[in-house]
Structures are given as C-alpha cells and as structure tokens.
Amino acid sequence: MNLRGSSSIPKMAEEISKSELRSSAAATSTPSSSTTAKSRWSWPSVLRWIPTSNNHIIAAEKRLLSIIKTPYVQEQVNIGSSPPGSKIRWFRSSSDEPRFINTVTFDSKEDSPTLIMVHGYGASQGFFFRNFDALASRFRVIAVDQLGCGGSSRPDFTCKSTEETEAWFIDSFEEWRKAKNLSNFILLGHSLGGYVAAKYALKHPEHVQHLILVGPAGFSAQSDAKSEWITKFRATWKGAILNHLWESNFTPQKIIRGLGPWGPDLVRKYTNARFGAYSSGSVLTTEESSLLTDYVYHTLAAKASGELCLKYIFSFGAFARMPLLHSAPEWKVPTTFIYGFEDWMNYQGAQEARKHMKVPCEIIRVPQVYISIMSLYPSINMSIHL
C-alpha cells in the first residue's frame, strides 16, 4: 500500500507512444527472429502482449538502477523452503523449492549505520530509486522486495487469516535477516511496509535499533469513531459493489494483467500521475519515466502472490483488522513517524499511539501535501540522531 491512494490506481496522466511500446517489448522479450517477423506481420504493435517473469523484473530493475551513481550489489537471498524446525513448508505451499528475497545493497562508508528499506503495497524496492544516492552517503542502505513482491519469489498465496498473512511477511523477513547475519539496524517501512516493519519490531525488537514509519498503514480500526463514513458508504450500492470486490480479493494488479497489451499504457499514466503532476519536488525525467514504467509494469503484471494479502490485513477502507494502535504499550523500539501535511494515512493514529508508548517517539509532518517516496532523505536525515 503506497501513499497517494494506495489501494487503487490513481488518476493517470499520459499515454505511451507506439514507439515506446515497441522499445519496451524489444527490451523485455527475446523471441526468435522468425517468430518476431511473423508476429510483427500478424499483429499491430499496440496489440502485442509484453511477457513478464522474475527475470524480466530483475532486468528492468537493473535498467532502472543504472541511473543510480552509487555502486550496488543485487542478490537473491535464499530463505529456505520452510521455517526452521517446521515440517510445514512456507505457508502451506505445495512446493518444497527454496524461496528467495530480492536484495540490493549499496556501497557505503566504513562503519556506516545499516538502513533497511521495506516498500509498500503494489510496490517494490525500485520505487525508492531517487533516494538511494543521498541515503548511501550516510547509511549502508539495503532495500528488499518482500516475499511475493517485486523480484522476490512468488509462492502461491495460501494464507487464510490475518495471523498467517502477517507471518508470511514477518517470518520471511526474519529468515532473510538470519541469512544476511544482520542486527542492530535501522528499519524503515513505507505504508504497508510500515505495518510490516512495526509488526516485525514488535516480534523481534532485539535486532532493530530504530524504527522509521513513513505514512504507515494499519494504525486505525474500523471501530474508530472516524470510520462512520465507511459504514454509511458500504450501505450504498456503490459501496456494496466495492466491498464485494475487496472481500473477493480483487486487486489493481488484476486490472493490469487483464488489459494485456494495453497494460503498459495504463502503467505509464499511473507513473506520470503519481510521480509527475501530483508529486512534490522535481518531476521524473523522460528517461526516469520510461525506465520506471517498464519496471512497474513487470512487477505488477507478474504472478499474483504477496498482493493477495490485502483483504486479510485490512477491511474495506484500509482499516486494519489487527491495528498497531492496540500494540502501542508493547512497543520496545524508538520510533519516528513521518507524514505529509495532508497524507492519505492519518497521523492522528500515531499521535494516539505515542500516548501509550514507553519508548522515545517522534512525529514529523512534512510541509507538503503528500510524502513523496521519491524524496525521503531530508526527513530521514533529521529523524535519526546518531
């Protein structure tokens, strides 16, 4: 779940030209010359399906991160096929094959504090690409794709409860941490990633030095007084339809897949709307927009897996089924909250949580309409005093 209306695709801004579609298709698939000639003869470019896979995602990620000046290492970290000591494979999977977490680690100065970045819903670590150079000047930055997202393994999603769904993310992250032999790190989570980071810190506080939650989801519950509007809306025919779609686990990614050849066009409009006209700071360059569109398309169009978590963690309206606010008295890690002045996520949940926390807690509100995940560094820099 990402800021700017994260549980649905926001308004879009610009069309992909036919030439961009051709170049994207050429960059992401390599059919034989005879097949290519035949397909070009048979189908107009606008009707060609653009295939995707984990390899396509990693290739698109590499092209996007080629913009970054700081050297980095990309790796697939093996987290095994099941939790240690358990006879049950990862979340009732029908396969015993090992799972991998896609990880990018940036070069840093010696003894730099470690900052681990966890993305939000419908996103992946590449969404942070404009932050990496600035953050790497002060931190040892490690960005991950959560299990079932981005370039990580995408097991069949078999979770049937909120507890199982939280374990999907928390336990796989812990196995990743063990494999990387990390501890005493700063953990940053954005939106749904903030929810996961907070839940992880509650379960494994001994490994987290400081928690940074950027527009975190999951602090409010449907029982809150301010949720009355959703109850009234659900009683309308429009609300009933949307609630049914939510409970049926209909995701925005399914729209991208269903559109087939027109999927990249919608993604282009999405990236330009989200990181263009409505963003703060400098808008994407033509090159950035093209590379990000290609990357986002492949991460959204790939096999459904982690995206199916939504209905189990949140009820319709993005209200947490197990709100973080209820866990505030158990908080054991110093925490910084970062929100935009008119953030889609309400900062008042953090204010209420702070009243019950027994650890240092700071709330930073950035004087912009929304927090842009493209420009987090200034807020992060002033939120940690090491």
Q: What is the pLDDT of residues 45-55, one digit of tens each?
A: 445 567 889 99
- Sign of the alpha-carbon torsion through 327, 329, 335, 341: positive
Q: Residue 106 belongs to what H/E stretch?
A: strand 99-106
More confident residue, 97 or 166: 166
- DSSP state, residue 283: P
pLDDT, position 230:
78
Q: Residue 170 belongs to what H/E stretch?
A: helix 162-180
- Specify if 19 maps to a domain: no
Domain with residue 151: its CATH number is 3.40.50.1820
Structure tokens at 307: 């995206």
Q: Which tens digit of pLDDT belongs to each residue from 288-342?
A: 999 999 999 999 999 999 999 999 999 888 889 999 999 999 999 999 999 988 7
- Specify if 4 maps to a domain: no
Angstrom distance (rounded) from CA 177 to CA 147:
13
- Specify if 28 maps to a domain: no
Q: Which tens digit of pLDDT belongs to each residue from 244-262?
A: 999 999 999 999 998 888 8
pLDDT, position 42:
44
Q: Is pLDDT at 15 greater than 60 in this prediction?
A: no
pLDDT (mean) for 181-192? 96
* Geometric angle at alpha carbon 359, from 368 and 333, rounded to 5°: 80
**Integer CA distances (angstroms), 119 to 57, 124, 142, 196, 378, in order:** 16, 5, 12, 10, 18
- Specify if 12 maps to a domain: no
- pLDDT classification of 66: cutoffs 50, 70, 90: very high
In 260-277, which positions are buried (b, 16+ CB within 10 angstroms) versus exposed (e)? ebebbbbbbbbbbbbbbe
Put the strands of the sheet holding 114-118 in their side by side order. Answer: 72-80, 99-106, 140-144, 114-118, 185-190, 208-214, 335-340, 361-366
Q: Name the pTM for this structure.
A: 0.82
What residues contact 160, with CB distance under 8 A and at least 6 apart? 312
Q: Residue 187 belongs to what H/E stretch?
A: strand 185-190
What residues contact 208, with CB distance under 8 A and at least 6 apart? 185, 186, 187, 200, 201, 333
Which residue segment(s) compose the domain that 324 sits in? Answer: 49-373
- DSSP state, residue 201: H
- Specify if 85 maps to a domain: yes
- Specify if 100 maps to a domain: yes
- Specify if 342 maps to a domain: yes
Angstrom distance (rounded) from CA 298 to CA 63:
13
Cβ distance 144 to 103 under 8 Å? yes
- Specify if 21 maps to a domain: no
Nearest to 180 by CA among 81, 254, 114: 114
Going by DSSP bridges, is the β-strand pair 140-144/99-106 parallel, antiparallel, or unpaired? Answer: antiparallel
**Of 123-127, 230-234, 365-369, the least confident:** 365-369
The total number of structural domains in the chain stands at 1
What residues contact 262, with CB distance under 8 A and at least 6 apart? 46
- DSSP state, residue 248: T
- pLDDT classification of 200: cutoffs 50, 70, 90: very high
- pLDDT classification of 36: cutoffs 50, 70, 90: very low
Cβ distance 189 to 324 under 8 Å? no
pLDDT, position 89:
55
